[in-house]
Amino acid sequence: MRCDDVAKILPAAVEQGAAVELSVQRHIESCLRCQAELARYRRMLRGLQMLRTRYLEPAPGLLAQTLAAIEEAGERQAMRSILSGRRLAYAGAIGGAAVAATAATAVMLAHRSRRRTVLGGASSA
């Protein structure tokens, strides 16, 4: 095991609970350079974890803009649902009218056909 072999696996090996081969462990225990390198990675990871609670303050206005964007999206959504509701009502009305017109036509045709039959019967008599 050489130092450059260890250096290649240290970024993954530094993670807590990572399985590290015995040969690597033995090399690190006996190598000051690799111990220093491992310490650097550990220091780096510790620092990264600390960044989690280091908040970066946004410039003023972000909160107001975000809330306004949500408000606007909510209004658009409401408008869409109203429109789609109206569309449904329109479609229903048109469908109803079409059904009524078809029924009226059918009744009218049936009535005419009955009259023709009656008239035909009368003329033949």
- The stretch near another protein (CB under 8 A) out of 4-12, 82-90, 91-99, 105-113 is 4-12
Site string for another protein, 80-119 (x = CB under 8 A): ----------------------------------------
Residue 58 contacts another protein per CB under 8 A: yes
Residue 63 contacts another protein per CB under 8 A: yes
Q: What is the DSSP letter of 16?
A: T
User: Using the rule CB under 8 A, which residue among 25, 44, 113, 119 binds another protein?
Assistant: 44
Work out the number of other CB atoms within 10 angstroms of the CB of residue 31.
16
CA dist 65 and 47 (Å) reads: 32
Residue 55 contacts another protein per CB under 8 A: yes
Distance of CA 46 to the CA centre of its chain: 34
> Among candidates 18, 73, 61, 76, which has minimal Cα distance to 42?
18
CA dist 85 and 72 (Å) reads: 20
CA dist 30 and 23 (Å) reads: 11
What minimum distance in Å lies between the beta carbon of 88 and another protein? 21
CA dist 11 and 9 (Å) reads: 6
70 vs 93, beta carbon nearer another protein: 70
User: Which residues in this chain contact another protein in the complex, by CB under 8 A?
Assistant: 2-4, 7-8, 11-12, 14, 33, 40-41, 43-59, 62-63, 65-67, 69-71, 73-74
